[in-house]
Amino acid sequence: VFLNLLVNAAHAIADVVGDGGEKGTITVETYREENWAVVAISDTGSGIPEEIQSRIFDPFFTTKEVGKGTGQGLAISRKVIIDKHGGKIDFTSKVGEGTTFFIRLPIEDELTGTDGAVDDENNLASSGYSGDSNARAPETAVPSRAGDDS
């Protein structure tokens, strides 16, 4: 998924700068948005024309020359994100300025198996955790590697 978006971004930049030695920019950002982990991939490429934006996730839809694209990358990426990970994918784009794809993946709390973070002792207690808010992780021995005298 990420490789496909990065390759598409590189192609969009190449469409703009050509072989003139100019450079574009691809930016990858990660952040949390409520109960979602977000990966934003932006480029300074050609942008996606408004008249085709509703079709870019359709199977076999491509804007690339014959032999340069199958039209499967975004369709498969969308299917993997939604069906396999319960996530979302969307984008913003402006012709001549570039595109940003947003991949949102749900964050599941490890202690409770529910979405979102456990934020207080009552929630921890109801999930079976007993301890106080000053508790530390138990000290565990770290196995040494062969030849490591520490």
| Position 3 pLDDT exceeds 60 | yes
| Position 82 pLDDT exceeds 80 | yes
pLDDT of 25 reads 95
Long-range contacts for 55-62 (Cβ within 8 Å, ≥24 apart)?
A: 56/91, 57/89
Rounded to a whole number of angstroms, the distance between the first and last alpha carbons of the chain is 41
Domains of the chain: 2-106 (3.30.565.10)
Confidence of residue 139 (pLDDT cuts 50, 70, 90): very low
List pLDDT tens digits, range 24-56: 999 999 999 999 999 999 999 999 999 999 999
pTM of the model: 0.68
pLDDT of 26 reads 97
The whole-angstrom separation of Cα 112 and Cα 123 is: 9
| Position 12 pLDDT exceeds 70 | yes
